[in-house]
Amino acid sequence: MRRPQRNGLILGVLALGIGFLLGTIASWTAVAGTSTALPARIYSNVYWNGYQSSYPAPRPPESVLEDLLWETYTTLTDRYLAPEELNQEDLLYGAIKGLINAAGDPYTSFFTPMEAKQFLEDASGHFEGIGAEIGFRDGFLTVISPLEGSPAKGAGLASGDIILEVDGADTREMTLEEAVSLIRGNAGSDVVLRIFRDGETDARNVTITRQRIEIPTLTYKQLEDGVVIIELYNFSEDAPLKFRERIGDIVTQGTNGLILDLRNNPGGFLDASVEIAELFLENGEVSVIERQRDVDDIVFTATRSGPLRDVPTVVLVNGGSASAAEILAGALRDNRGSLLVGTTTFGKGTVQEFPRLTGGAALKVTTGEWLTPAEVSLRGGGLVPDIEVEDDPDTPEDEVLEAGIKALLGE
């Protein structure tokens, strides 16, 4: 089928702001303003125990679970020592966040009106922070990838680093958004992260000065042996245009092959990934499959044959390659037979929608997952490279790149 037109973000959470890059915000415009916080029979905009609010107020429940929630609320407000200390909105938001946390999915989150506003502002591209994408892996808050040229990169953060504390606060009980809200901040201010790195015996503190983040898109280099290297840092909205602009020489002059470097690329816009994949595919070939519950799979296919479809290509990946980067890598391997060189990718292949709720709140909820054209799930495990080579930050040589070039040239 022809790929549907989507205005989607593949979102993780950047510590430089809430949101730009890892899971997927799908059908943003379509869902905006279409949902309510809880069934209408529970909530109505009235006075709640004498407290006037624009947020919904409970009314008598109609089920056992609702009865328990209502009973807990009324018992608390009736018997708590200092009822004047209870904030109605905090109680409501706390109950909702507890409900969401119990789902056990680190990418499903509730946003208060202020958090939702901040999330949308950050997704528009205005970032101040440390410039690292973070997510949960095996229950630990983990650096997915530091952005190129960012304060996080300059401070030595690496993909896979576990963040134990943020300014002394333990991250084990935090949601992703709570952690990000502590890490982010005004340019010029400092944040102290307590980091544990695999292979080291002790955790250590890393102080990072926040900055305004300008996210690069890609770099292009042609080697003497005719090999072209394109390092793609993210899938921003204009990434396909910039990518097409840089491949002009490949199309007109030819090349001995292309190295597509997706290491530490945390993702970005779904459409950007699909459009770039299309440059390598034949008309009608599948780039990615979206699977949701109770509906037929949505299959994204190339709408034309791309100019790079016959160019030998090797893809470099690592644990910081996530989401949209995994989609592109999977599309090239399954369709073109492109070798993946490096280490296993992050494994962030879930779809999130962002319905707006009553009073300006919002819910980021996981609704599906991504599959490669060969129907390999990108959720959880990540893509295992064909040639495994470890990044070694302590050596000047780029052993992964060297291995990729040798694989490309058949050496």
Residues forming the active site: 323, 334, 348
Residue corresponding to tokens 């495990």: 381
- Alpha carbon dihedral 160, 162, 163, 164, in 10-degree steps, equals 180
Smallest CA-to-CA distance from 107 within 351, 292, 290 is with 351
Smallest CA-to-CA distance from 234 within 19, 398, 6 is with 19
CB neighbourhood size of 16 (10 A): 31
